[in-house]
Amino acid sequence: MRYYLEFEKSIEELELKIEELKRLSNRKDMDITSAVKKLEKKAKELRSEIFSNLTPWQKTLLARHPDRPYTLDYIDMLSEDFIELHGDRRFSDDPAIAGGFATINGVHVMIIGHQKGRGTKERIYRNFGQPQPEGYRKALRLMKLAERFKKPIITLIDTPGAYPGIGAEERGQSEAIATNLMEMSKMKTPIISVVIGEGGSGGALALGVADRIYMLEHSVYSVISPEGCAAILWRKDGDLTPEEFSKSADALKLTAQDLLGFKIIDGIIPEPLGGAHRNPEAVAKNISEIIMQSIEELGSKSGGKLIDERYKRLRRIGSFDVAEA
């Protein structure tokens, strides 16, 4: 059964009517083809109107849509084969991060990404896509393996953030993230990152130091969630409201369109009308094209050149006005 977000309720009503009419159309004594076509046209126009005017908060909800494709879904659609590798060789494996060697359009790559999971049982197993330190150390181990064999690294980012539990902190969560940032900045092989859903703070950055960074059209990338931001700014006795979440999302400038404007990312990968879950195969095709284009651009560059350009790219992020004395 298709899941609809609150702002999609009007679309849901129309699509349910269309499904009911299609069921009735199986009866030989009724011809309602024209009525169905009219409703389908109306539904498409309504979707176009709604999705061309999404607020940052609505985009955040869409980025978290439970039907949205996750890392392993994209890997299955992108690659001709995939050999998953496990463990950080120090503590354990972390199912919140999946990675391994794969072949995309004949090119051998290392692909790594956050995995949220579907259904209660798998979400708990995957810790809702919130990695532990061993997850980031596993990711780094795989990246170094790719560097050793001179294979491009593809990272798919989709996490609400790194897990803040006591055990994670005791095992060095902040150190694991910081080490990834440092080591990724000096990798001598191309790194291409794609934000496919949520890009939550340091938990996302630990896979996001790259030569090329792209975002899906309805993904988000921010230092904090709108809910976390609202809780800090407007802490009060009662519950926070969706209006306050919307206000904080506006202020955070977390959409793909915002980040492209700030020149933090290199491009936006289009999604079908209604979001990536409406046509995952089309989105996977768009991602594949961007990956291959980026590999072609970066593949001829030496390790030293990649590091130098990556450093300059990071230093260019942000613009500042110098106040006159």
Give the global pTM: 0.91
Q: What stretches in the chain show pLDDT beneath 50?
A: none
Of 58, 208, 220, 59, residue with least CA distance to 131 = 208
At 101-121, the pLDDT tens digits run 999 999 999 999 999 999 999
Residue type, 203: G
- Spell out the SS3 assignment of 140-173: HHHHHHHHHCCCCEEEEEEECCCCCCHHHHHCCH
Please state the separation of Cα 134 from the chain's center in Å: 21
CA distance 207 to 193: 8
Residue spans of alpha helices (H) in the chain: 9-24, 33-51, 56-63, 71-78, 119-125, 133-148, 166-170, 173-185, 201-205, 226-233, 242-252, 256-261, 280-298, 303-316
Q: What pLDDT score was predicted for residue 31? A: 61
At 9-36, the pLDDT tens digits run 888 888 888 877 777 666 655 567 777 7
Report whether 201 contacts 32 (CB < 8 A).
no
Report whether 172 contacts 207 (CB < 8 A).
no
Sign of CA dihedral 196, 200, 205, 209: positive
Q: What pLDDT score was predicted for residue 319? A: 63
| Measured CA distances, 206 to 15, 113, 181, 294 (Å) | 40, 11, 6, 20
Q: What pLDDT score was predicted for residue 159? A: 96
Report whether 196 contacts 216 (CB < 8 A).
yes
Q: Which two three-digit tokens encode residue 259?
A: 């980040």
- Domain spanning 60-316: CATH 3.90.226.10: yes
* Buried b / exposed e along 143-182 (16+ C-beta atoms within 10 A): bebbbeeebbbbbbbbbbbbbeeeebeebbbeebbebbee
CA distance 118 to 102: 23
What Rg do the C-alpha atoms of the chain give, in angstroms?
A: 22
Length of the chain: 325
Domain positions in the chain are 6-53, 60-316
User: SS3 of 127, please?
Assistant: helix
Q: What pLDDT score was predicted for residue 30? A: 58
The DSSP letter of residue 237 is: S
Q: What pLDDT score was predicted for residue 46? A: 87
